[in-house]
Amino acid sequence: MLQQLKNHVLVQTFRELKGNPKWSICTEPLWFIPYSLFIPFQTLYMRKLGLSSVEIGTTVTVGFILQMFFALIGGVITDKMGRRKATVIFDTLGWTVPCLIWAASQNFWWFLAAAAVNAAFQITNTSWNCLFIEDCPPKHITNAFTLIQMCGMLSVFFSPLAVILVGTYDVVSVMRWLYFIAAISMLAKFLLLYYFGGETQVGKKRMEETKNLSYFSMMKGYGRVFLTMVKSGKMRLVVYFMALTNIIQIATTNFFSLYVTEKIHLSDELVAVFPVIRTLVMLAFVIGLQNLFQKLRMKVSFLVGFLMYIASHLLLLLTPEKNLLLVMGYTVLEAAAYAVIIPRKDALMAHYVDQKERSRIYALYNVLMIGISVPFGSLIGWMFELNPGFPFLFNIALFCLCILLAMCSRDLSRLEESIG
């Protein structure tokens, strides 16, 4: 058993990783665990401090607008400042500082200020990805993303601690302490990664190339980068996959609980069980079948994953009232599909993005994803109002489109040869 564990592809990958990729994985729990403790109760905390629904919605809207701004300038800042320095500065600004503001919040204006500062994390969506990817051997990229995903999965098991604390003590007092602890834990993560990591070779080159360029002149270069993305078949495929999976997750993340309570009429208490089951399934799938999927071609893995997604959604739509077993079946299939698709989708972008323009391409991608989230969130909400099953039927159509894209892509077929 021990020998099998040592020979597992994820264990081998972790042992062979060095520098930024390894330290990113090692420090990631310091962010994921405190985040998983406070995020389920954030809206309740705001309500307890007297915020109206309109005020809560306003903080979200302001956050989205500023996130688009920070996402856009993130590529330029990452190139000028360097991946390592930009990550530690804007992670601290975008997470540690807001956590301290949330911990001390008294009214709407405190939360509005926190949302504005928190939006700066979009810069590190670019800088951290560059830091993580650029020194990672191509053959390990998919498994490295899987290891990061596992950090997020394991953090879910700490969520019941917050449930117990909130159930035992005053919500406001508990949340203030959780935010304060999160600020310390996240700051430790940022400083450890900065200390033990280093600037990437691509980052050093880009800092040298851009040291005499102004921020304004580099911003003007986004037009050329966008045209490059549009003209490249590989980058168009990445953008299609990224955009479609982002839209798909709006329904699966935000409307699943409403569907099973309002349409299938399961109890509200059961809703809290599904994220834990989902996490267990993803962990079991990743640990048990990662070796198998490592041997499959990228295209085959995508096709299998999207077919599992379709099967899960069909099962959910055909589930009769109060049938817990079939909803569990949906959860198992959807979790397995997620475990297959998401790390490979992220790895696909890492493989296909031009190294020289990686930071600005990631920045444009982040702007695009935020821009998509706003209208499609409303559209899918409108679909749910018409019929609770419509968002999931819409997802099935998107899964079919993803399968068609994967089957028709010659670049995807040649990917394995290009990375050895």
The yes-or-no verdict on residue 348 having pLDDT over 70 is yes
Where is average pLDDT lowest: 3-17, 55-69, 203-217, 377-391?
3-17
The yes-or-no verdict on residue 268 having pLDDT over 70 is no
**Chain-centre distance for alpha carbon 278:** 16
The values of phi and psi at residue 95, to 5°, are: -130, -50
The yes-or-no verdict on residue 417 having pLDDT over 60 is no
| pLDDT tier for residue 5 given thresholds of 50, 70 and 90 | low
- Give residue 23's pLDDT: 92
Q: What pTM value is reported for the model?
A: 0.75
- Give residue 206's pLDDT: 86
The residue-averaged pLDDT of 305-318 equals 94
Tokens describing residue 202: 């691509």
Which residue did the predictor score with more confidence, 315 or 352?
A: 315
Q: How many residues does the chain have?
A: 420
The values of phi and psi at residue 320, to 5°, are: -75, 170
- Give residue 308's pLDDT: 93
| Rounded distance between C-alpha atoms, residue 309 and residue 215, angstroms | 43
The yes-or-no verdict on residue 420 having pLDDT over 50 is no
Average pLDDT over the chain reads 83
- Give residue 107's pLDDT: 92
Task: Tell me how crowded residue 393 is: count the other CB atoms within 10 A of its CB.
Answer: 14
Instruction: Tell me the CATH class for 16-220.
Output: mainly alpha
| Rounded distance between C-alpha atoms, residue 362 and residue 134, angstroms | 13
- Give residue 196's pLDDT: 93
The residue-averaged pLDDT of 31-42 equals 86
| pLDDT tier for residue 152 given thresholds of 50, 70 and 90 | confident
Instruction: Tell me the CATH class for 221-420.
Output: mainly alpha
Q: Are 361 and 133 in contact (CB under 8 A)?
A: no
Residue 111, classified by CB atoms within 10 Å of its CB into exposed (0-12), middle (13-18) or buried (19+), is buried
**DSSP class of 323:** -
**Which residue shows structure tokens 């809703």?**
271
CA Rg value for the chain: 21
- Give residue 292's pLDDT: 63
DSSP H helical ranges for 296-323: 298-317
Half-sphere exposure of 284 toward its Cβ, with a 13 Å CA cutoff?
10
- Give residue 413's pLDDT: 61
Helix, strand or coil, per DSSP, at residue 282: helix
Which residue did the predictor score with more confidence, 120 or 146?
A: 120
**Chain-centre distance for alpha carbon 194:** 21
| Rounded distance between C-alpha atoms, residue 32 and residue 202, angstroms | 28
Indicate if 221-420 has the same CATH topology as 16-220.
Answer: yes
Q: What is the pLDDT of residues 276-305, one digit of tens each?
A: 788 888 877 777 666 665 666 777 888 888
Residue of 253, 251, 413 whose CA lies nearest to 348: 413
The residue-averaged pLDDT of 353-367 equals 74
| Rounded distance between C-alpha atoms, residue 280 and residue 111, angstroms | 34
The yes-or-no verdict on residue 394 having pLDDT over 80 is yes
Q: Are 60 and 341 in contact (CB under 8 A)?
A: no
The ranges assigned to domains in the chain are 16-220, 221-420
- Give residue 97's pLDDT: 97
Which residue did the predictor score with more confidence, 295 or 374?
A: 374
**Which residue shows structure tokens 């050895």?**
420
Q: What is the pLDDT of residues 158-204, one digit of tens each?
A: 877 887 887 788 888 988 999 999 999 999 999 999 999 899 888 89
Taking each helix axis from N to C terminus, what angle separates 410-419 and 233-254, rounded to the nearest 10 degrees? 100
The yes-or-no verdict on residue 419 having pLDDT over 50 is no
For the chain, the straight-line distance linking the first and the last C-alpha, in angstroms and rounded, comes to: 30
Which residue did the predictor score with more confidence, 260 or 419?
A: 260
| pLDDT tier for residue 364 given thresholds of 50, 70 and 90 | confident
Q: What is the signed CA dihedral for 164, 170, 172, 173, rounded to 10 degrees?
A: -90
**Chain-centre distance for alpha carbon 368:** 14
The yes-or-no verdict on residue 314 having pLDDT over 70 is yes
